[in-house]
């Protein structure tokens, strides 16, 4: 077995698992902070109960996100020491800053928030909720700064075979960061919103009189929140696609199953991809539409994978520079299709909640339950596009994946660790999700008295 | 003083902070099944570290991140070389972290008992393995000319390193015991106190034997660069002070002495290494030092500025959390979170 392939599987599996939970943290931390602020400004006890109820799911999820994050921190040394040596100057700094600026803030204040209900004033406690939300979203800024360099290297020089940072502000100002970071933040908002929508819809379908107002109100807030997330994630995603067409055309061409250069470029709606023979055996195309999506006009051409491969070979030497096209193509269609669906679903939820018609539409409430997973699926699909689209580079144009792996670990080592993580994460995921379901389906405390 | 030396000192500070703070967390986790009899007592024990353990663990994350940023070759060699041991450590840390959150989420006694033991092992394994890792740093490992260590797991589990692991374990346990002594009330508090004296004697025996063994097996205590001997002597004195204060019922001072032992032991290790980061037993010229393993001067400058701005804030707000949660926890408290 090849240590490169095993290490890639391990990284992919542990990262995707980690990323089931992280965006929920990003989105729910902000949602809870907003609700608590509303509680403080309005004095309405129901908001406090909403905070308490939704924070239970949030905290179970948070725990799994935190512990699986530890693995990620050490992974670059464990399996990718070649990468760590080559990129330490550039990748290590944002990671260290992430810890100092964001993790400390998030992790310290989450403790204060959980345990500090009767130790702090109402306002101070709400402020702590904001510090947790800001801390967790700041951490995504720094990790995406590090990741953006791998997609679009800036502010560096190669010295003695290592990439060295020469301009910190260029690293932070990387346009890739300022597409990716808002995209991920908005995705977190959508994910958090849809999760609350799903649980609220489930409760409303149970017809329990005493919690009806509680979940109607939760649903209304979540619908607006989810709609904002869904709209933003789409708009930013569109801008990001246009940026990627210039910075990583191979990634975009793979996303679109675009083999031959065309002027103007047509958009493939559905295709059967034959990567081996570099063509689509079946393809439904809209003429000029890709030009419009990527360049806002119906004229500009876009290079195809075949020509891009030639250009890369001339630039970097022999090799296969085409990412896995089928995976990219279908992941991007999943992401974009679900994204549009999310706008529709959260839009309807917001509209009907606003007009107080949601209870008359039980079929729609039933749809909201499975819809809770939609943005999570889209987010995973998005990351598959982003990371497999880097192929064959770990750092675009600078280091190939096979040069990044640790030379000192054996396939046996990785089989051991991969198996261990698979077993552990399966148990962890099962227990975590079961507990979230248990608490999400439990009755909130509505009656007067202690809010616990 | 150049930035490489400054970052060596900062790394020492971060590891000292990590071992000081996570040290008592690990200790509390290991003492949990032995000092608490009832479920309510166990909950009280876990809640002593409840508000702070996550923030404490970030010290480890940041120590790792700082190592990556300042000395990437050390990060690369250490984590890939100690691969299997680290996987075990990660298992421990993962299981322990979720245990705190999951444990009280169901009433079932078997459920809770299971998570009690995962907290125990999830604290024991990382504590032991950090000790083993640090002891191997003191002794050196077979680093080749390409900066990699190819030896695998078994050479790392040598008797000296295992003994070092036990010594760290002992120090973390007495540190945890003194933390529990200042945080608890009631029967469980009495039980901790009566156990502390015996634990302290065991820790003394381990520590003295470890120092002698280190003197014979390593050059940490007579390093021509910086000397590890002075912090070693001070650590020993602090360990004696721990027992002295313990006998006199001075709980706060006992805790501080135990913390000082851990900090001074960390300083001993790092100053004994200086200017090396990872010693090669094959050839001294293969060793990683604060110069051949470091990032470029520009990166060091950037992270120095960021650290100078943010570390003081971290110390302030983490200090503030200990102030907020300064009250003792009684097993009679009705609504504990964990």
Q: Do A111 and B50 touch (CB under 8 A)?
A: yes
Select from A87, A111, A125 the residue whose CB has the most chain B CBs within 10 Å, as the one to mutate to test that interface.
A111
CA dist A135 and A141 (Å) reads 10
> Pick from B98, B26, B155: which is nearest to A71 by CA?
B98
Smallest Cβ distance to A417: which of B54, B87, B96?
B87
Q: In angstroms, how far is CA A332 from the centroid of its own chain?
A: 14
Determine the pLDDT at residue A63: 94
Cβ–Cβ < 8 Å for A36, A125: yes
Mark yes or no for CB contact B65/A408 under 8 Å: no
* B337/A438 Cα distance (integer angstroms): 17
Res A187: pLDDT: 98
| Run of H or E residues at A158 | strand A156-159
The answer to whether B306 and A101 have CB atoms below 8 angstroms apart is: yes
pLDDT digits (tens, 9 = 90+) for B122-144: 999 999 999 999 999 999 999 99
Question: For tokens 């596009």, what's the residue?
Answer: A385
B52 chain-A contacts, CB cut-off 8 A: 108, 111
d(CA A186, CA A167): 28
Does residue A6 belong to any structural domain of this protein?
A: no
Phi, psi of A281 (to 5 degrees): -75, -25
Shortest CB distance from B306 goes to which of A81, A97, A438?
A97
Residues of A in contact with B70 (CB under 8 A): 92, 96
Q: In a 3-state reduction of DSSP, which class is residue A159?
A: strand
Give the tokens for residue A22.
Answer: 């992280």
Set of chain B residues whose Cβ sits within 8 Å of the Cβ of A59: 101
Whether residues A100 and B52 touch (CB distance < 8 A) is answered with no
What tokens does A258 get?
């675009």
Q: Give φ, ψ of B229 to 5 degrees.
A: -70, -45
- Does A318 have pLDDT greater than 60? yes
Which helix H or strand E contains A162, and what residues bound it? strand A162-165
Q: What is the pLDDT of residues A334-363, one digit of tens each?
A: 999 999 999 999 999 999 999 999 999 999
Q: B-chain residues within 8 Å CB-CB of A71?
A: 90, 94
Percent of chain A exceeding pLDDT 70 equals 99
| Token reading at A144 | 């995406």
The band of A448, judged by pLDDT with boundaries at 50, 70 and 90, is: low
Considering only CB atoms, A420 lies closest to which of B58, B91, B152, namely B91
Total domains, chain A: 1
The predicted model gives A350-377 an average pLDDT of 96
Euclidean distance between CA atoms A378 and B66, whole angstroms = 33
> What pLDDT is attached to residue B337?
85
Which residues are A270's β-sheet partners?
A: A284
Beta carbons of A76 and B83 less than 8 Å apart: no
Residue B232: closest CA among B191, B276, B265:
B265
Q: Give the gap in angstroms from C-alpha A342 to the nearest C-alpha of chain B.
A: 31
- The closest of A397, A418, A404 to A149, measured between CA atoms, is A397
Residue A377: closest CA among A23, A7, A11: A23
* Residues B50 and B337: beta-carbon distance below 8 Å: yes
As a whole number of angstroms, the distance between CA A376 and CA A189 comes to: 11
In this prediction, residue A126 carries a pLDDT of 98
Average pLDDT of span B58-64 = 97
Q: Contact A77/B80, CB-based, under 8 Å?
A: yes
* Closest CB to A104 among B58, B73, B106: B58
Q: What is the pLDDT of residue B181?
A: 97
- Expressed as residue numbers, the domain containing A267 is 175-405
Interchain proximity B69–A420, CB inside 8 Å: no
Tokens encoding B163: 């003994």
Whether residue A48 is preceded by a cis peptide bond, meaning omega within 30 degrees of 0, is no
**Residues from chain B contacting residue A63 (CB–CB below 8 Å):** 97-98, 100-102
CB contact under 8 A, B68 and A407: no
Comparing CB atoms, the residue among A81, A101, A159 nearest residue B310 is A101
Per the listing, tokens 């640790």 go with A406
Helix (H, G, I), strand (E, B) or coil at B10: helix
Chain A residues closer than 8 Å to B94 by CB: 67-68, 70-71, 424, 428
Which residue in chain A has the smallest CA separation from B11?
A96
Predicted confidence at residue A452, as pLDDT, reads: 40
Residue A442, classed as helix, strand or coil, is coil
Answer yes or no: is A272 within a domain: yes
Per-residue pLDDT averaged across B48-57, rounded?
95
Flag if A416 and B87 touch (Cβ within 8 Å).
yes
- A291 and A297 in contact (C-beta within 8 Å)? yes
The CA distance from A231 to A189, in Å, is 10
Q: Give me the mean pLDDT over the B1-11 stretch.
A: 95
Please say if the pLDDT value at position B310 is more than 60.
yes
Q: Say how far apart CA A101 and CA A91 lie, in whole Å.
A: 16
Is A162 within the bounds of a domain?
no
Angle, vertex CA B149, rays to CA B144 and CA B153, nearest 5: 145
For residue A392, whether the previous peptide bond is cis, meaning omega lies within 30 degrees of 0, is: yes
Which of B79, B321, B316 has its CA nearest to residue A84? B79
Q: Do B51 and A407 touch (CB under 8 A)?
A: no
> Do the Cβ atoms of A70 and B66 come within 8 Å?
no
B76-98 average pLDDT score: 97
Give the residue-averaged pLDDT of A10-26. Answer: 96
Question: Is-contact B144 B284, C-beta < 8 A?
Answer: no
Instruction: Quick: pLDDT tens for B243-297.
Output: 999 999 999 999 999 999 999 999 999 999 999 999 999 999 999 999 999 999 9
Three-state DSSP state, B105: coil
Length of chain A: 452
* Residue B111 Cα distances to B106, B115, B116, B117, B332, angstroms: 7, 7, 9, 10, 22
Interface test with B, best of A59, A104, A422, A441 (most B CBs within 10 A): A104
Contact assessment for residue A3 and residue A405, using Cβ atoms and an 8 Å cutoff = yes
| Chain B residues within an 8 Å CB radius of A146 | none
Instruction: Sketch the domain layout of chain B as residue ranges.
Output: 3-324
Q: What is the pLDDT of residues B204-229, one digit of tens each?
A: 999 999 999 999 999 999 887 788 89
Q: Do residue A408 and residue B80 have CB atoms under 8 angstroms apart? A: yes
CB within 8 Å of B229: residues ≥ 6 apart:
B221, B222
Using a CB-CB distance cutoff of 8 angstroms, which residues of chain A are in contact with residue B68?
76-77, 84, 88, 91-92, 95-96
Q: What is the DSSP string of A348-401?
A: HHHHHHHTT-GGG-HHHHHHHHHHTTHHHHHHHHHHHHHHHTTTTEEETTTEEH
The arithmetic mean of pLDDT across residues A247-269, rounded, is 96
First to last CA, chain B: 47
Instruction: Say which of B79, B102, B295 has its CB closest to residue A77.
Output: B79
Residues 6+ apart with CB under 8 A from B107: none
Token pair for residue B97? Answer: 């972290």
Quote the DSSP letter at residue B143: B
> What is each CA distance from A109 to A103, A116, A133, B174, in whole angstroms?
10, 10, 10, 27
Reported confidence tier of residue B334, pLDDT bands at 50, 70, 90:
confident
Of A79, A103, A407, the CB nearest to B61: A103
Predicted confidence at residue B1, as pLDDT, reads 75
Sequence-ordered alpha helix ranges (H) in B71-186:
72-81, 83-103, 109-139, 159-183
Contact B303 A420 (CB under 8 A): no
Average pLDDT, chain B: 96
Mutate one of A85, A127, A425 to test the B interface: name it (highest B CB count within 10 A).
A85
Other C-beta atoms lying within 10 Å of the C-beta of residue B222: 11
CA A291, distance to chain mean position in Å, is: 27
pLDDT at B44 over 90: yes
Mean pLDDT of the A218-222 span: 97
Euclidean distance between CA atoms A10 and A414, whole angstroms: 8
Tens digit of pLDDT for each residue in A107-133?
Answer: 999 999 999 999 999 999 999 999 999
Residue indicated by tokens 């001294």 = B284
Under 8 Å between Cβ of A62 and A113:
no
| Cβ <8 Å between A111 and B317 | no
Q: Label residue B56 exposed, middle or buried (CB < 10 Å: 0-12, 13-18, 19+).
A: buried
pLDDT greater than 90 at residue A37: yes
Model pTM score: 0.95
B3, B52, B58, best to mutate vs chain A, most A CBs in 10 Å:
B58
Joined together, the tokens standing for residue B170 give 């002992």
Q: Please tell me whether residue A330 adopts helix, strand or coil conformation.
A: helix
Report yes or no on A198 lying in a domain.
Answer: yes
Can you tell me the distance from the alpha carbon of A445 to that of A425, in angstroms, rounded to the nearest whole number? Answer: 32
Omega before residue A264 within 30° of 0, cis: yes
Q: Which of A60, A110, A116 sits opposite B324 (nearest CB)?
A: A116
Share of chain A above pLDDT 90, in %: 98
From chain B, pick out residues whose CB is under 8 angstroms from the CB of A107. 54-55, 57-58
State the pLDDT confidence band at B338, using cuts at 50, 70 and 90: confident
Give B-chain residues touching A96 at CB under 8 angstroms: 62, 65-66, 68-70, 303, 306-307
Stretch among A242-251, A441-450, B44-53, B146-155 having the lowest mean pLDDT = A441-450
Q: Work out the minimum CA distance from B329 to partner chain A, whole angstroms.
A: 12
Helix (H) or strand (E) holding A272: strand A267-274
Produce one character per residue of A328-364: b if its CB has 16 or more CB atoms within 10 Å, e if not. Answer: bbbbbbbbbebbeebbebbebbbebbeeeebeeeeeb
Written as six digits, the tokens of A193 are 């919103």
What residues of A are in contact with residue B51 (Cβ under 8 Å)?
Answer: 111-112, 114-116
Nearest C-alpha in B relative to A78: B80
* Residues from chain B contacting residue A98 (CB–CB below 8 Å): 65
CA A161 to CA A147: how far, in whole Å?
20
| Interface A:B, Cβ pairs < 8 A | 231
Question: B57, exposed or middle or buried, with CB in 10 Å at 0-12, 13-18, 19+?
Answer: buried
CB–CB of A374/A340 below 8 Å?
no
CA dist B289 and B297 (Å) reads 15
| Residue A451 predicted with pLDDT over 70 | no
Give the C-alpha separation, A51 to A56, whole Å.
9
Subunit contact B51:A409, Cβ cutoff 8 A: no
Do A338 and A382 contact (CB within 8 A), yes or no?
A: no
A168-196: per-residue pLDDT in tens? 999 999 999 999 999 999 999 999 999 99
The stretch B173-202 carries a mean pLDDT of 96
A264 pLDDT more than 80? yes
- Which of B62, B148, B321 lies closest to A407 in CB terms? B148
pLDDT band at A450 (very low <50, low <70, confident <90, very high): very low
The mean per-residue pLDDT over the stretch A81-92 comes to 96
Q: Which residues of A touch B314 (CB under 8 A)?
A: 100, 104, 108
Cross-chain residue pair B90–A431, CB shorter than 8 Å: no
The conformation of residue A73, written as its DSSP 8-state character, comes to: H
The number of helices, as runs of H, and strands, as runs of E, in chain B is 11, 2
Distance separating alpha carbons of residues B57 and A70, to the nearest angstrom: 10
Q: Of A112, A159, A428, which is closest to B321 when you measure between CB atoms?
A: A112
């Amino acid at each position: 077995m090849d240590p490169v392939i095993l290490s890639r599987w391990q990284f992919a599996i542990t990262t995707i698992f980690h990323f089931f939970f992280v965006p929920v943290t990003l989105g729910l931390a902000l949602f809870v902070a907003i609700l608590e602020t509303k509680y403080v400004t309005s004095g309405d006890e129901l908001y406090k109960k909403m905070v308490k109820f939704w924070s239970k799911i949030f905290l179970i999820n948070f725990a799994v996100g935190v512990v699986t994050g530890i693995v990620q921190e050490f992974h670059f040394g464990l399996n990718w020491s070649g990468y760590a040596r080559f990129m330490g100057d550039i990748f290590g700094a944002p990671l260290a800053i992430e810890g100092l600026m964001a993790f400390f803030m998030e992790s310290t204040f989450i403790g204060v928030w959980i345990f500090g209900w009767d130790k702090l004033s109402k306002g101070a406690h709400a402020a702590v909720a904001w510090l947790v939300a800001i801390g967790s979203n700041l951490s995504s800024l720094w990790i995406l700064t590090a990741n953006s360099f791998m997609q679009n290297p800036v502010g560096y020089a190669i010295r003695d075979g290592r990439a060295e940072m020469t301009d910190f502000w260029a690293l932070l100002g990387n346009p890739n960061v300022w597409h990716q970071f808002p995209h991920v933040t908005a995705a977190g908002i959508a994910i958090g919103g849809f999760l609350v929508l799903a649980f609220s819809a489930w409760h409303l379908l149970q017809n329990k009189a005493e919690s009806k107002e509680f979940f109607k109100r939760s649903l209304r807030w979540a619908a607006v929140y989810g709609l904002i997330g869904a709209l933003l994630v789409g708009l930013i995603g569109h801008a990001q696609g246009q940026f990627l067409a210039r910075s990583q055309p191979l990634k975009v061409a793979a996303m679109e199953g675009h083999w031959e250069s065309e002027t103007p470029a047509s958009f493939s709606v559905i295709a059967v991809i034959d990567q081996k023979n570099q063509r689509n055996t079946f393809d439904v195309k809209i003429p000029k539409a890709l030009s419009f999506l990527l360049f806002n006009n119906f004229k500009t051409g876009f290079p195809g994978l075949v020509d891009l491969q030639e250009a890369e070979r001339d630039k970097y030497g022999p090799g296969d520079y085409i990412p896995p096209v089928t995976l990219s193509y279908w992941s991007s269609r999943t992401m974009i299709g679900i994204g549009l669906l999310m706008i529709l679903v959260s839009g309807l939820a917001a509209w009907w909640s606003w007009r107080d018609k949601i209870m008359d539409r039980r079929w729609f409430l039933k749809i909201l339950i499975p819809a809770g997973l939609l943005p999570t699926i889209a987010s995973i699909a998005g990351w598959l596009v982003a990371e497999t689209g880097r192929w064959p580079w770990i750092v675009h144009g600078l280091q190939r994946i096979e040069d990044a792996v640790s030379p000192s670990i054996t396939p046996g080592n990785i089989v051991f660790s991969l198996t261990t993580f698979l077993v552990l994460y399966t148990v962890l995921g099962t227990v975590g999700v079961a507990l979230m379901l248990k608490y999400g389906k439990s009755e909130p405390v509505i009656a007067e008295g202690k809010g616990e | 003083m150049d930035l490489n030396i400054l970052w060596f000192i900062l790394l020492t500070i971060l590891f000292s902070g990590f071992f000081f703070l996570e040290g008592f967390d690990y200790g509390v986790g290991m003492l949990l099944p032995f000092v608490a009899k009832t479920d309510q007592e166990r909950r009280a024990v876990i809640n002593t570290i409840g508000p702070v353990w996550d923030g404490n663990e970030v010290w480890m994350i940041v120590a790792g991140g700082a190592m990556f940023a300042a000395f990437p070759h050390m990060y690369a060699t250490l984590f890939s070389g100690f691969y299997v041991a680290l996987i075990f450590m990660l298992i421990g840390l993962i299981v322990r972290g979720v245990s705190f959150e999951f444990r009280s989420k169901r009433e079932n006694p078997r459920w809770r008992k299971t998570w009690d033991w995962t907290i125990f092992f999830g604290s024991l394994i990382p504590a032991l393995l950090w000790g083993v890792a640090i002891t191997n740093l003191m002794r050196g490992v077979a680093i080749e000319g390409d900066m990699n260590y190819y030896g695998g797991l078994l050479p790392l589990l040598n008797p000296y390193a295992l003994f070092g692991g036990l010594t760290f374990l002992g120090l973390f346990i007495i540190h945890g015991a003194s933390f529990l002594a200042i945080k608890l009330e009631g029967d469980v508090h009495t039980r901790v106190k009566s156990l502390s004296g015996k634990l302290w004697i065991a820790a003394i025996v381990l520590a003295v034997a470890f120092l002698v063994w280190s003197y014979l097996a390593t050059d940490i205590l007579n390093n021509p660069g910086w000397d590890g001997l002075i912090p070693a002597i001070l650590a020993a004195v602090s360990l004696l002070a721990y027992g002295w204060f313990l006998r006199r019922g001075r709980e706060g001072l006992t805790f501080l002495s135990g913390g000082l032992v851990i900090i001074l032991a960390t300083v001993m290790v790092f100053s004994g290494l200086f200017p090396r980061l990872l010693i090669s037993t094959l050839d001294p010229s293969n060793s990683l030092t604060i110069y051949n393993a470091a990032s470029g001067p520009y990166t060091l400058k950037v992270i120095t500025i960021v650290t100078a701005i943010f570390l003081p804030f971290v110390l302030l707000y983490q200090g503030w959390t200990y102030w907020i949660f300064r009250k003792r926890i009684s097993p009679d408290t009705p609504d504990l979170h964990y």
